[in-house]
Chain A
Amino acid sequence: MYFGLSEEQQSFQEIIRKFLEDEATIDKIKLFNKGDLADFPEAMHKGLLELGINGLIIPEQYGGLGLDILFATAVSQSLGAGVAPSPFIGSYVLAPYAILQAGSDEQKEKYLSGISEAKIKFGVGLTEYIASRDNAEIVFENGKINGRALFVIDAANATHYLISDSSGILSIINSNDPGLEIINLTTVDKTTSVVELKMNNVNAECLDSPENNSDNTQRLVDLGRLMIAADSLGAAQVMIDKAVEYSMQRKQFGRAIGSFQAVKHMCAQMAADLEPCYSLIWYSAHSMDHIPEESNLMASHSKAHVSDVASYIAKTSTEVHGGMGFTDELGLHYWFKRIGLNRQLLGGVDTVREEVADSQGF
């Protein structure tokens, strides 16, 4: 029995951490956020492709590494920790997973190999399956797709999009389809690329196996929620580390503020709340891989609970930093905003809790 990340998973995390430490420095993230360094995310992306994040969960027969969901959560955590402006969850976890689940053999061959070779990159839009806003709606009919997908993630430089309609049927569209209008959305968190798609008679390629159904799309959503939770876990841990570090340097009343119980107890509470989140996410990932009957419950609670804990940490860590925490100069807010975006993606905490109460028959 061994519960936790393997040495291999931990060393891969370390590789990503080092890469981001060198390449995605806070100064670069700041410049990019101010509108400079436009090619910065793509440079990040290329570097991470060299580490193999695109083929992580793709079976070896399609040129991938064939690793499991737990491995993917470990990567997601590291990317969150570095507030990396790089696609991952949508492009390299959800899209390949969906195609593996519900694609035909030909589709698997074409798309999975394409992703492994970094020739194909997906943006992913599942929002309309979860909760439609602003009258966004997607209609599939006779191989055509019409309507709007409001919140498509990992959208930058996508060659294709994977879209779900409200009933959970998944289709692939080509990003250069003439009927497609791509509208950039600006969120608080500029490290993540989000677009709205307007579709006017766009050619839609339905994932072509009988497994393309709402049960499997729910599983896909569960997976996405778990990955997002892992990203927030990484970001939240950094916010605790930064708070502790800052509190030991910053002096007021003649002593480090970290020696005041008021501050120590804030940090202790953050740590006490976050530690069990590691366990929750690891178990949840393990259930995705090996205990399918528990995976919906575990993934839902991972998303809801870790989002709450991370939001609390985002607020508390900022407070520990005092006025400096509020400044752009320190840059703590990039983690705050990443956690804030993650909290809402693929269903906010209240939505997810309502769903998981339903799915348990309560």
Chain B
Amino acid sequence: MNLDFGTEYDSFRDEVREFCDRYKGVQVTGSLFQYLEATNSNSDDELKISVQEWQKILIEKGYFARHIPKEFGGYGGELDIVKNSIINEEFSKAKIPDGAGGQGIDFLIPTLLEMGTDEQKQRYIKPALHLDEIWCQGYSEPNAGSDLASLQTKGVLDGDEWVINGQKIWTSTAKYAQMMFCLVRTEPDAPKHKGISYLLIPMDTPGIEIRPLVDMTLDAGFNEVFFTDVRIPATNIVGKRGQGWLVANKTLVHERGSLGDPAKMVSRFNKLVELMKTETIDGQRAIDKPVYRDRLMKIQGKVLALKAHGLRLLSARLNKGQDVALATMIVKLYGTEMRYELESLAIDVMGELGTLYEDSPHLRNGGGWQYAYMYYLGLIIGGGTSQIQKNIISERGLGMPKEPKVKEA
């Protein structure tokens, strides 16, 4: 056991801290995820900066897109997961907003870097990274959720164009997006996992219709996207025909591992402690009430376990021979369920006041607790439900048998 990263990293940490001091209280505007960030920023401070501007500052410093080559708009450094985790930690501690992620940056860019043609890399990565071009992800369909590979949106090659018909759902940011990376069935006669292609679709192509899908938070964060004879160039494909499932899975793995950042969990826990110190019931602070204290301590135990778990996973990436296959598979399930438990305690601590929403009098933290309480229920479901996670853990982690296949009616 050795938790020392070496002096090079100490000085890097100092440098990041200096940066955090300089931008203390910064508030990023124009982000697509306002409501969550309302709870994460200091409303007293007036240091406002646009999300695009902030992104540029972070990339220039190497605090975002660190290992993405300069020619594609990144910082052009080595992939250094220790530096990344130092940046995460220090930003969380100082309540400095991260660079903007989103599906284009988190999923499309890594995919293109690995599987894209040179032309695709040149054309798409930089605008996505600098938020000049917003991407959305077209994976799920009304009849293809947990069983994603059964998707039916159809793509037929007609001369040098794909003609696409069908429907996607749960498409976040579709209404802002200029582009979609999309899974489409192009080989109807192939087995279901081998008949899918990964296509890149401009959202202003005729035949695309977007209908907002309002979720329980009352945000229209999701959309349904309908395709009627949508024509895109035949070259807008990543990988070969029929390889789409493989291409997409590279980033799905990434998605499942990335949810539940321990540093963010710790700072959210600290916010909960603050809430419990300020909320009073009959004049007594919530944190002094044994029932709430006990629940708070239960959550702290889980938060600390997950924080240490982050070190274990980090260590396995830095050192050979540490088997963390199972330890990695549990992160999405554990992280999202725990986060929901944390937000639920905040709601219970506020009691009736915890039901207030929108612009109600007596609202706490801009409604952020209530919003997050619902939002994290969404995360338990999205990106592979907890039940799908348990299938993965039991089958791939514990070696238990798959459910026997049932002949489809």
Contacts and interface: CB of A to CB of B under 8 A. Distances in A.
Contacts of B322: 4
Residue among B296, B310, B400 having the largest count of chain A Cβ atoms under 10 Å = B400
A263 B373 CA distance: 29
A354 B5 contact: no
Contact of B400 (A267, A356, A357): A267
B7 interface: no
Interface in B376-408: 387, 389-391, 393-395, 397-404
Interface residues on B, range: 35 or more
Interface stretch (B248-256, B325-333, B364-372): B325-333
Nearest to B290: A354
B318 interface: yes
A308 interface: yes
Nearest to A281: B308
B298 interface: yes
B302 interface: yes
A289 B2 CA distance: 11
Interface of A is mostly: helix
B390 A265 contact: yes
A304 B393 CA distance: 25
A264 interface: yes
Contacts of A297: 304
Contact of B319 (A2, A282, A284): A2
Interface in B268-314: 273, 276-277, 287, 290, 293-294, 296-298, 300-302, 304-312, 314
Contacts of A286: 1, 3
B308 A350 contact: no
Interface string A276-294: 1111101111100110000
Interface string A20-41: 0000000000000000000000
B390 to A, nearest CB: 4
A268 B297 contact: no
B399 A244 contact: yes
Nearest to B295: A353
Given A2-B319, A6-B1, A276 B334 contact: yes
A296 B354 CA distance: 33
B398 A279 contact: no
A3 B314 contact: yes
Given A247-B400, A268-B393, A362 B5 contact: no
A116 B316 CA distance: 36
Contact of B305 (A263, A277, A357): A277
A297 B308 CA distance: 13
Interface residues of A, number: 51
A275 B309 contact: yes
A4 B3 CA distance: 10
Nearest to A362: B287
A245 to B, nearest CB: 10
Interface in A292-314: 297-298, 301, 304-305, 308
A264 B394 contact: yes
Nearest to A269: B390
Given A6-B1, A264-B391, A362-B273, A259 B312 contact: no
Given A244-B400, A268-B390, A356-B297, A283 B308 contact: yes
A252 interface: no
Contact of B395 (A264, A269, A283, A350): A264
A248 interface: yes
Contact of B314 (A1, A276, A362): A1
A357 B393 CA distance: 33
B33 to A, nearest CB: 27
Contacts of B157: none
Identify the 5 closest CB pairs spanning chains A and B, nearest first: A305-B301, A3-B315, A283-B308, A268-B390, A264-B394
Interface of B: 1-5, 82, 273, 276-277, 287, 290, 293-294, 296-298, 300-302, 304-312, 314-316, 318-319, 322, 326-327, 330, 333-334, 387, 389-391, 393-395, 397-404
Given A2-B2, A261-B403, 17 more contacts: A1-B82, A1-B314, A255-B404, A259-B404, A265-B394, A271-B393, A272-B333, A275-B326, A276-B334, A277-B305, A279-B311, A279-B312, A280-B301, A286-B1, A350-B294, A354-B294, A362-B293
9 contacts: A261-B387, A264-B390, A264-B394, A271-B398, A272-B333, A286-B1, A289-B1, A301-B305, A353-B297
